[in-house]
Every structure is written in C-alpha cells, then in structure tokens.
Amino acid sequence: MNPSNPPQAAEYGGDEVSAIVLDPGYSTTRAGFAGEDAPKSLIPTYYGKYNVDGQEKLVYGDEIYVNPRPALSIHNPMGKDGIVEDWDMAEKVWEYSFTSRLLGTKPGNPFQNGLNDIPAEELPTEMEVETEEKPLADSPLLMTEPAWNPAKAREKTIEIAMEKWGTPAFYLARNGVLAAFASGKASGLVVDIGASNISITPVHDGMILKRGVQHSPLGGDYVSSQIRALFKKNSPQPITVTPHYLVSSKSPVEAGQPPQAKYRTFPADKAPDASYRALVEERTLSEFKECVVQVWPGPNKLSATGPTGASNEDMARSSPGRPFEFPDGYNQVFGVDRFRVVESLFDAKAAIPDPDSSVPAPTQAQTIPELIKASLGGVDVDIRPHLLSNVVVTGGSSLLYGFTDRLNHELQQLYPGPRVRISAPGNTAERRFGSWIGGSILASLGTFHQMWISKKEYEEHGANIVEKRCK
C-alpha cells in the first residue's frame, strides 16, 4: 500500500470477513466492524468492583452506572497519560467491548454499510459467523494506540490479541494517523482533544513524525476539574453536584435559589465508594460542558482588550448567559464564568485555582498554542506550511462550543504567513470517533491485506514484530 494516497471511497470493503476495529480511549472504548461508518459498541473504559459474600465481582459497560451497590468502586485500567497501567483489566474491558455487542450478532454486510453501498442484487450471499472458544478466532483485529505508546505496551497488545483472543491477523495503528484518514488526508496536523489528554500529532504520508508529537493532560477531565473549581466559588452560593441517585424528589425553584429536594442517604455499610459518586457526577459535568461551557472564540485571550478598546471579558459578559439545572433542581444562568472554565487550555494564567484539587495547575507549556508550537518546531521547516493548511480537529472535547474558532485565531496569530486551514467534521459522531472511523476505512481497504501481521508471522518472529511492521 502506498500510504501517501489517502483512502478512496471506491476502495472500501471487499473482504469476505469483517475485521474488527478497536479504539480504546481513557473515557470510552469504541469497537465495531471495519467498513461501517460508526462503532457499534461504545462502552465506558471504567469498570466497577464489589464484593458479594467475600467474592469479588466485576461490572462492565453501562452496567457500572446502574446500581449503587454497597462499596462499589470504579477503576480505569488506563493511566492518565493514555497508556495501559493494568493489563489484566484492560484485556477484560476491551474484550467486553467486542464480545458484548459485536460477536454473536452478525456483522453488517460490508457492502451495505453506508460507506460503499452497492445495489442489493449485486450483494454476495451471506457469510457464516462461527463462534469458537477464542473470541476473535475469525476476526482480524485493527487496534489504535496513542503516538507515545511505549514498545513494551505495543508488544503486550499484540500478545493479548494473538494469544488470548486468537485473532488470525493484527495491526496496530496510531490514532492520529487514523483521524487524518477519517478526514481524507494522509498528511496533516492532528489536534486531538480527548478526556485524559490532548495531543498534537504531525502526520506525513500516513506516518507520524515522532519528533513532533506533543501531549499534555489538559483534556475533558481537566475541564471538569475547572468546572468543579468554579462551582466551589460560585455566587450567590457554592454549587454542590448531587448525583441523581442521591436525589429522591425535588421541586422547582427560581434561578439561584437553594434547591428544594429530598436527598437519599446510605448507611455507611451500604454506600458505594466515593469513586462511584465521582463517576456519576461526571455525567452531570459532561452535560454542563455540552450545554453551557463556551470557549472564548478570540481573537486574543479572554483577558485581553478587544479592537474597540472594550475588554474581551466585558464582551463575554454582555452575551446572553446560559441556564443549567442540576439533578437536585438547583438552577442558575451562567454568564462569563462559562468561558473561564476552558480559557486555561489556551492561557495557563487563566486557570481557576483550586487548592483542594488533586489536579495540578497547568503550565503554559501544556496549553494548546504552546503544544502546537513545540510540535511544528519538531518537524522539517519545509512541511510546516502543508501541515498548517491541513489541521485536523478530533476528540470529544473539541466539541466544546467555539473551540475551532479559537484554534483558528490562535493559529493565525502564531503563523500569520502560511495559510491555515482547519478541518473539523461538523457531525458530532465523526468528531468523537475520528480515530475509530479512520481505522474502519483503513482495515477495509483492499490494499490493506499486505499490512496485517498474520498469526504465523507472529509465531515466527514474536511480539517484537509489531515494532517492525506498525511504524
């Protein structure tokens, strides 16, 4: 395959067996059949643990939200840097992502998946899906990884795929490269705003430029910690996020008035662990991010003075606020504060301090403009203009309202010369699943056949083959 040609729609599909594409992120794990336009399975990467009669039980998928069992605790097999920490549990969570929703059900016919529809009379006859002992004995597997995944982790991944899941063919692709493919590009600067991480990945001819890869922890979880910091110092009163399972009834109240709710309490020996409450609270914070939070669109920082002499803060203050109602009925209109909670992704000084938080204050070097500078600084001068005219925006947190406008202004300011062009799919699913979709396209290319690492090759060369073949 010549990686310098972006995948063409006409090349999709054609495989007799659908490969599975598995895209594990810190907040969610996405799995589905290659050639389809969205992952069929989307589960939290978190899992729950509790005890019954001294026996440890584990819960996966959306099940973790459902029942606040006594001492139920929530864990994540991935570390904050997006690299697996607990391999046994990563294997189980990932396996759940495809066994729970993909296997046992027939894959969608790859000729009718929205990407490459052909008339019904030309469809090949249905294929059989056999179930064998190892869950992927029939399915080639393409997995994604962050550009900074260490060699040990890459080897461990192919080991699990081959030995535990029995996949006949495997490939490991960088999620930045795949997000570029999903935008129809083989080269570009990929800006991924995820949950635990943000990253900048320069991609050239389908390969990452390693020296230009930058990442920092200012992702969606960081934004959530800023929202918590804001809630603590909110006026007219601090806001406590009370999750739904602790509210038994509520009455409507006026904006800014104390909630009128009846709360449910658990005796100490019946209560779930604090990590369960944090997980459920995060759902409310996510909703707040989607409905209220807004990125100051620029030009310039929120703290700067605009072209008319009025401060940007004043401009932000004069735009209509956004209301939000919490699970206990407390509601308020959020004004300029809704910009403040995200401003530090661009300007570290704007971070809302929170002395009780375990999240350290950001440094300027961790902000998006500085990461981009460092990233472009690490690649050949000649290709910088090409990267700047192919900026690909992906990841759930890039859906923050106003994000791409601000990014555009920041880039124009940093690089006034070359033409800056951002491609950011308007469709929410395409933005959230960029790397999965790129994997779906890649794995279903006819020309991808030669890229797979077969079981035989793995047996001959060992796990280290992943270093040689998946560059």
Ligand X SMILES: Nc1ncnc2c1ncn2[C@@H]1O[C@H](COP(=O)(O)OP(=O)(O)OP(=O)(O)O)[C@@H](O)[C@H]1O
364-423 binders of ligand X (CB under 6 A): 395-397, 399-400
Binding mask 5-44 for Mg ion (x = CB under 5 A): --------------------x-------------------
Among 3, 13, 21, 26, binds ligand X (CB under 6 A): 26
Selection from ligand X, Mg ion, none that 27 binds (CB < 5 to 8 A by kind) is ligand X
> How many Å is the maximal CA-CA distance in the chain?
70
Selection from ligand X, Mg ion, none that 182 binds (CB < 5 to 8 A by kind) is none
Nearer to ligand X, 171 or 436 (CB): 436
φ and ψ of 100, to 5 deg: -75, -30
Length of the chain: 471
75-94 binders of ligand X (CB under 6 A): 82
Nearer to ligand X, 109 or 344 (CB): 344
Selection from Mg ion, ligand X, none that 13 binds (CB < 5 to 8 A by kind) is none
CA angle 201, 158, 166 (to 5 degrees): 140
Q: How far is CA 280 from the centre of its chain?
A: 18
Binding mask 278-317 for ligand X (x = CB under 6 A): --------x--xx---------------------------
Whether residue 24 contacts residue 144, with contact meaning beta carbons closer than 8 Å, is answered with yes
Selection from Mg ion, ligand X, none that 17 binds (CB < 5 to 8 A by kind) is none
CA angle 292, 298, 300 (to 5 degrees): 130
Please report whether residue 146 would count as binding Mg ion according to CB under 5 A.
no
- Whole-angstrom distance, CA of residue 211 vs CA of residue 128: 45
- Whole-angstrom distance, CA of residue 297 vs CA of residue 328: 32
- Whole-angstrom distance, CA of residue 3 vs CA of residue 469: 13
Nearest partner of 206 among 6, 403, 31, judged by Cα: 6
Binding mask 174-203 for ligand X (x = CB under 6 A): --------------------xxxx------
Nearest partner of 395 among 324, 302, 272, 289, judged by Cα: 289
Counting residues that bind Mg ion (by CB under 5 A) gives 2
Selection from ligand X, Mg ion, none that 220 binds (CB < 5 to 8 A by kind) is ligand X
* DSSP assignments along 13-73, one per residue: ---SSPPEEEEE-SSEEEEEETTSSS-SEEEES-EEEEEETTEEEEE-TTHHHH---TT-E
Please report whether residue 46 would count as binding ligand X according to CB under 6 A.
no
- Whole-angstrom distance, CA of residue 275 vs CA of residue 93: 18
Please report whether residue 32 would count as binding ligand X according to CB under 6 A.
no
Nearer to ligand X, 189 or 195 (CB): 195
Whether residue 61 contacts residue 96, with contact meaning beta carbons closer than 8 Å, is answered with yes
Please report whether residue 27 would count as binding ligand X according to CB under 6 A.
yes
Nearer to ligand X, 194 or 206 (CB): 194
Please report whether residue 39 would count as binding ligand X according to CB under 6 A.
no
The set of residues, in sequence order, having a beta carbon less than 8 Å from that of 133 and lying 6+ positions away, is 166
Nearest partner of 452 among 145, 167, 206, 179, judged by Cα: 167
Binding mask 187-226 for Mg ion (x = CB under 5 A): -------x--------------------------------
Per DSSP, 421 falls in state: -
CB atoms within 10 A of CB 398: 23
Nearer to Mg ion, 31 or 316 (CB): 31
Tell me the closest approach of the beta carbon of residue 14 to ligand X, in angstroms.
29
Q: What are the tokens at 372?
A: 């981009």
Binding mask 198-237 for ligand X (x = CB under 6 A): ---------------------xxx----------------
Tell me the closest approach of the beta carbon of residue 340 to ligand X, in angstroms.
15
Selection from ligand X, Mg ion, none that 400 binds (CB < 5 to 8 A by kind) is ligand X
Tell me the closest approach of the beta carbon of residue 321 to ligand X, in angstroms.
18
94-123 binders of ligand X (CB under 6 A): none
Nearer to ligand X, 395 or 439 (CB): 395
- Whole-angstrom distance, CA of residue 435 vs CA of residue 374: 23
Selection from ligand X, Mg ion, none that 289 binds (CB < 5 to 8 A by kind) is ligand X
Whether residue 315 contacts residue 422, with contact meaning beta carbons closer than 8 Å, is answered with no
Q: Which residues bind ligand X (CB under 6 A)?
A: 25-28, 82, 194-197, 219-221, 286, 289-290, 395-397, 399-400, 432
Q: Which residues bind Mg ion (CB under 5 A)?
A: 25, 194
